[in-house]
Amino acid sequence: MKVSRRDMLMLLGGGAVGTIFSPIPWKLLRDSSVWTQNWPWIPVPKRGAAATAASACPLCPSACGVRVRTIGGRPVMVAGLPDAPGQRGALCAAGSGVHQLPWHPDRVRTPLRRVGGGSPGFEPASLEDAVGAIAAAIRETQGTVAILDGRPGRVLGGAYREFLSGRADTCVLVPPSAVRASMPVLRKLHTRDPGPLAVDLDVVDTIVGFSAPLLDGWGQPGLVQQRMHEGRLRLFQFEAVQSRTALMADRWIPITPGTERAVALGLARMLIRSGRVSPAFGYADFKAFVAAYEPWTPRRVFEVAGVDEATLTEVADALAPTGRVVAIGGGDPAGGPLPFEDEASIQVLNLLLGAMGQAVKAQRPLADDPADAASDRVATRDLCDVPDGSVGVLIADLAMAGATVPWPILARKMAPQGLLVSLTPVLADLALHAQWVIPTAPAFTAAHDCPGHPDLPRSLRLARGFTPAGDEVVDPVDLLNRLGTALGIERQATVADALDDMMALRLRALHRAGDGTVFVAGKDPVAMAEIDSPEDVLSMLRAGGCWRTALAAAASAEEPAVEAGDDQTETAPPRPAMPFALEQVAAKDSGGLVNGFQMYLIVGGGVERTAGVARSPILSKVDQESGLRPFANVARVNPATVASHGLRPNRRWRVSTPQGAITMRIEPDPTVPPGAILAGAEPQGALPWNAGNPVDLAAPDGKTWRLLPASITEA
C-alpha cells in the first residue's frame, strides 16, 4: 500500500483533532494547574467563617487603612479602607499583597549566625548565643554603638534611645529619606526652632512638586488625588521623567535630571523681583538674600534645567503669597532623597510664599510620650553624616522603613571589625551582609504601631496581628530587655515585657495629654479629650481608626516680619535665618558628569521595590508582568539616545557607574529624557529575585543615589 504525503497529513491532522476532543490535554492542563498552585511556599487557605476586619498597612510611612477579608481568621484579601481619613480607599501594589508576606520564601525562622567570611552563609543559632555575642561586641567595641531606626516615630524608637542612653558614644541613625524629607529640612531654616512642622492639606490649594511622588507614596496620595479631581487642588510637577505624579498633574514641566535646585532658585528670583513675597518673610539682611538669588536668571535656568522663561513665568504667576501654596521635594521610596542643598532651596519657596502658619503649621509636643523617650540624651543623625569607619556595633531595624538604604553607604560607616545585626522577618537586602540575623514578626502576624509621614501631622494607626507570628519570632522589646540585663542597662519610660505592652503605654500617654482627634471611617471624628479611656482609644484604632495631633493655630499671613531682637510670641511665625550660607548654596551649579561617564542613571521605584520584606512573592500580575515600573534588569532609554549611541534592544548591555556595573537589556521609552537611563530598584534575596540592584551602584561617600553618573557598553 502506497502512503502519500497527503495521507500522512490527514493522519496527523485527524490525530490532532482527536486529541483535542479526548481527555488527555484537559487532564494535563488540570494537573499543571494543581502543581503550580501547590508549591511549598504558597499558603493553603484555611476553612472557616468569612469575616472582614479593619487594620493598617505597616510597610511604609503612609500607613494606609485597609479592609482585610479573612477565612477562619487568616487574611486572604486586602483592599483600601473606604472613607479612611487622608486616604479615601487608595492602596498601592505592596499594600494589596501585605497579607501574603508571612509566607515569604525567604522568611527567617530562627536566629542566624554568619559562617565564613564570603558570600551569604548562615547557620541556625539560639537567641541566647545571639544576645551573648551582641552584648560582648558592645562591651568590647571602641567605636560608636548605634541603632538604625528605619521608621522614626514608633514607640520602639523610644526604647532604642533609652537603651542606648545607658552608655557613652551612642546614637540613633535614621535613613536619609526620613531626615531629609521636606518638613524636617524646613524646620532647620529657622533661628528659633519651631518644633516639628507639618503640611496641612486642609488649607493647601496649590502644590509645587519637585520630583516628589505626591500621587505615588508621599503621605496621603489618595486624598491629594481626590482633591485634584474635585478641583480643590492644583499640582505643578517639575520632574525629569513621566512618573505617575507627573502624568496626572495639572501641569508637568520636564526638567534636566538633577536640576530641581536650579528651578527652585529661578522661581524664588522671580517671586522676589515681582514683589510677590509674603509680608511674614523677614531676613535680618534681606539685601544679601536678594543678591544671592540674582544670578539665577531665566536664561541660566533654561541653560541648566531646560525650562524656558515663559513656562517659569507661568508657574510663578500662579503662586500667590496667600499661605495656601506649598512646595514639596522629599524623595522617591527607592531612589532616595534629594541632596540636602536642593531640598533647602525648595523649602525657601515656602518661606517666601508665607506658608508658615498657614499651609505649614507647627505640631505641639506631647509630654511623657514613650516614643520620644531619651530624645534629649541620645543624638539622632542622618546615616550619611556619620564618620566613615566609626560604627563598631550597628543594630539595623529596616523591616518597615518603606525606603532604601544602599549597602555601599552603610558598609563605609562600619568599623573594620564592626558587628552588623539585622532585625528582619526576611533574609534579604542588608540582612545578607549581617553577622547576626534576628527574626522579627512579619506584617499581620503581630501588632505594629504605624506613625505617619514626616511631612504630615503626627498620626498613629494600628496594624493588627491576624495569624500567629510563631515561636521563633523575637520581639524587639524582649531583645532589648535581654541585652539590657547582660549589659546592666535599665530603662524607665519604655520598660515593658513586649511591644504590645509598650504600645499600651503610649496610648495611655496620648489619652492623658488629651491632644488631637481620632477619626474612624463612617463615623464622626472624636476629640481625644472626649474619649473615656485608653482602652476605648485602642478599640477605635483596632476598628481602622487614625489618631491625628492638633496643629498650632494659623498665624496671619499679613503679620509683619519679626525683626532680630523683637519678642516673639507663640502666634508669630518664627524668623528664618540664612540657611547653610545661602549665598554659596544659591551660587553653586548643579553637579555635572564625572569624567568617563556621559549619561545619568535615574533610579526609582515604589514601596514594593524598597526591600524584599515589603514585596510579596505572589505579587506578579501587578508588578512583575505589568511593566508599570522599570525593572533592575531593564534600562529604559529615550529612542534618540538609542539611535545616537547605537544601542540595540535585542542585546545585553553593561550599565556602569563609578561604584560598579549591572547588566541590563535596552527598552526604548520616549518619556525618558535624552542622555538618561531609567531603571528600577530591585529587592535582593534568595528567591525569586537575584538580579543586581541599581541602588547598590551608589557612591559609598555619597548622600544621594537617585541620580548617578553612568555609561553604557555592550556586555
Q: Three-class SS string for 310-348?
A: HHHHHHHHCCCCCCCEEEECCEECCCEECCHHHHHHHHH
Q: Kindly state the helix (H) or strand (E) to which residue 291 belongs, with its residue range.
A: helix 286-293
Quote the pLDDT of residue 298: 94
For position 37, what pLDDT does the model report?
A: 61
Domain 197-362+562-587, CATH 3.40.228.10 — does that match? yes
Strands 517-519, 546-548: parallel, antiparallel or unpaired by DSSP? antiparallel
Check if the beta carbon of residue 545 is closer than 8 Å to that of residue 449: no
Residue 140: exposed, middle, or buried by beta-carbon count in 10 A (0-12, 13-18, 19+)? exposed
- Cross-strand partners of 267: none
Q: Which three cell numbers stand for residue 349?
A: 519657596
What's the pLDDT tens digit per position in 501-547? 889 999 999 999 999 999 887 788 999 999 999 999 999 998 888 99
48-85 core/surface letters (b: 16 or more CB in 10 A; e: else): eeeeebbbbbbbbbbbbbbbbebeeebbeebebbeebb
Amino acid identity at 101? L
Tell me which fold the domain 112-178+365-548 belongs to.
Rossmann fold (3.40.50)
pLDDT the model gives residue 250 = 93
Please state the pTM of the whole predicted model: 0.87
Q: Which amino acid is at 61?
A: P
Cα torsion for 660, 664, 666, 667, to the nearest 10°?
-110
Nearby residues of 497 by Cβ (< 8 Å), 6 or more positions away: 477, 478, 481
Same topology, domains 197-362+562-587 and 599-714? Answer is no
Q: Please report which residue ranges of 324-457 form alpha helices under DSSP H.
A: 340-352, 407-413
Written as nine digits, the cell of 6 is 497527503
Name the nearest CA neighbour of 151 among 126, 186, 181, 108: 181
DSSP label at 431?
G
- Res 620: pLDDT: 52
- Is the bond preceding residue 688 a cis peptide, omega within 30 degrees? yes
What are the residue ranges in the chain where pLDDT is below 50?
Answer: 555-580, 687-689
d(CA 166, CA 518): 35
How far is Cα 536 from Cα 520, in angstroms, rounded to an integer?
12
Measured distance CA(506)–CA(447) in Å, rounded: 14
Q: Which grid cell is 313?
A: 513665568
What pLDDT sits at residue 613? 79
290 burial via Cβ count (<10 Å: 0-12, 13-18, 19+): middle
The DSSP line for 449-517 is EEE--TTS--EEEEEPP-S---TT---HHHHHHHHHHHHT---STT--SSHHHHHHHHHHHHHHHT-SE
Type of residue found at 521: A
Q: Does residue 578 sit in helix, strand or coil?
A: coil
Using DSSP's 3-state secondary structure scheme, residue 595 falls into coil
Alpha carbon dihedral 314, 315, 317, 319, in 10-degree steps, equals 170
Please provide residue 165's backbone torsions phi and psi, each rounded to the nearest 5 degrees. Answer: -70, -10
Give the model's pLDDT for residue 565: 32
- Helix axis angle for 127-140 and 476-487, nearest 10°, is 50
Cβ count near 99 (within 10 Å): 25
Rg (CA), the chain: 27
Which residue intervals of 212-285 are DSSP H helices? 221-229, 244-248, 260-274
Residue 369, SS3?
A: coil
What is the domain partition of the chain in residue ranges? 5-36, 112-178+365-548, 197-362+562-587, 599-714
List the beta strands (DSSP E) in 57-105.
65-71, 74-80
Closest CA to 696 of 711, 712, 679, 713: 679
Measured at the CA of 611, the angle between CA 654 and CA 104, to 5 degrees, comes to 115
Q: Are 104 and 426 in contact (CB under 8 A)?
A: yes
**346-349 contacts at long range (C-beta below 8 A, 24 or more positions apart):** 346/182, 346/210, 346/260, 346/261, 346/264, 347/182, 347/185, 347/186, 347/189, 348/189, 348/264, 348/268, 348/579, 348/582, 349/208, 349/264, 349/267, 349/268, 349/271, 349/319
DSSP state of 284: T
The sign one gets for the Cα dihedral 59, 60, 61, 62 is negative
Report the alpha-carbon distance of residue 585 to residue 261 in Å, rounded: 9
Question: What letter represents residue 190's amino acid?
Answer: H
Could you give phi then psi for residue 210, rounded to 5 degrees? -115, 85
Angstrom distance (rounded) from CA 259 to CA 247: 19
Q: Which three cell numbers stand for residue 1?
A: 500500500
Q: In this structure, what DSSP letter does residue 591 have? A: P
CATH of 599-714, one of 2.40.40.20, 3.40.30.10, 3.40.50.200, 1.10.3720.10: 2.40.40.20
